[in-house]
Chain A
């Protein structure tokens, strides 16, 4: 019984020693492989940086494009809606509204302008802010505010 226990303990000792020796060898091998992989990753650092840059740029561009208000269709509708005998004196176009000052020979042309804007779905609301008549030249000057 006692001899059996002693032999068992010796076997355990030998087994643990062998396991430790194997672990040390495996650890050394793994460390060498990790070192090689780290060198590989470092050599690809530029590529990684480029990838990060591209991803960041793409995300930023998508975000900016989604936030951007396109002016081209709005400006097209604005210019195309001005009747030929209406003289555009000035305009100020923003994201949500615009104001314009026009000169006409008749108030009916203002009505046509407003009608054009509504027909083109360009305006949700048109406010006539002022309308004056220059009686010497028989010319109407009208300032409108258009809400998109």
Chain B
């Protein structure tokens, strides 16, 4: 007769496995929870934090731009007010340094000023290639009048509305007792 000896602890391994099952489940759930938290931090909070930081920078730049524009507007307004109060002086400034040569107007003014000083304008000539880098135009003007009145003539040119720089003055006595005066002048445009 064959006798089967059944060990007394035949179910112990199985029972140990059974006993471990809940513990394994807990480990699994905990691992899944940790993985979920890590994924949430990586794909949820991190991009959100980066966006928040970038938005903050953008906002700060926009505030700077706004401040700059406000300062600019305030400055323009204050300067505009000042300029409006100085319109007469500004007109004079534009006459002194006009944008275009406006030689015709200058000649008209000069003829009148010369006549006041007792001189007659004989010739008015723009020297060739006379425009320099500073916007200066060289002119040569010939007058006839009396020697004693030359200071008055020169003063009229230097104090005219249009800014003019005298380069040289030539005088030659005439047979009739008068004087020919030739003045080289530079007028400027801007």
Contact surface of A with B, Cβ cutoff 8 Å: 2, 5-6, 9, 12-13, 16-17, 19-20, 23-24, 26-27, 30-31, 33-34, 37-38, 40-41, 44, 47-48, 50-51, 54, 56-58, 60-61, 64-65, 67-72, 75-76, 79, 82, 87-95
Closest to B79 in A: A51
With A2-B33, A44-B77 as contacts: A20 and B69 at CB distance below 8 Å = no
When the two chains form their complex, are residues B171 and A90 in contact, meaning their CB atoms are under 8 A apart?
Answer: yes
When the two chains form their complex, are residues B154 and A72 in contact, meaning their CB atoms are under 8 A apart?
Answer: yes
Chain A residues near B27: list those with CB within 8 A: none
When the two chains form their complex, are residues A87 and B173 in contact, meaning their CB atoms are under 8 A apart?
Answer: yes
B contact patch SS: helix
Chain B residues near A16: list those with CB within 8 A: 45, 48-49, 52
From A2, A61, A93, A94, contact of B97 by CB (8 A)? A61
Q: Which B30-49 residues have a C-beta within 8 angstroms of A?
A: 33, 37, 40-41, 44-45, 48-49
When the two chains form their complex, are residues B188 and A9 in contact, meaning their CB atoms are under 8 A apart?
Answer: no
When the two chains form their complex, are residues B62 and A31 in contact, meaning their CB atoms are under 8 A apart?
Answer: yes
A17 to B47, CA, bound (A): 11
Chain B nearest CB from A55 CB (Å) reads 9
With A47-B80, A72-B151, A91-B170 as contacts: A40 and B55 at CB distance below 8 Å = no
Q: Which B152-169 residues have a C-beta within 8 angstroms of A?
A: 154-155, 158, 163, 165-169
When the two chains form their complex, are residues B94 and A57 in contact, meaning their CB atoms are under 8 A apart?
Answer: yes
With A9-B41, A51-B76 as contacts: A60 and B154 at CB distance below 8 Å = no
Chain B nearest CB from A83 CB (Å) reads 13
Chain B residues near A91: list those with CB within 8 A: 169-171
Chain A nearest CB from B79 CB (Å) reads 5
Chain A residues near B73: list those with CB within 8 A: 37, 40-41, 44
Q: Does B147 contact A (CB under 8 A)?
A: yes
Give 30 A-B contacts (CB < 8 Å), ordered by A residue.
Answer: A13-B45, A13-B48, A16-B49, A17-B48, A19-B52, A20-B48, A23-B56, A30-B62, A34-B65, A40-B69, A41-B72, A44-B80, A47-B79, A51-B76, A57-B96, A61-B97, A64-B188, A65-B163, A69-B165, A71-B154, A72-B151, A72-B155, A76-B151, A88-B179, A89-B173, A90-B173, A91-B169, A91-B170, A93-B168, A94-B167
When the two chains form their complex, are residues B190 and A57 in contact, meaning their CB atoms are under 8 A apart?
Answer: yes
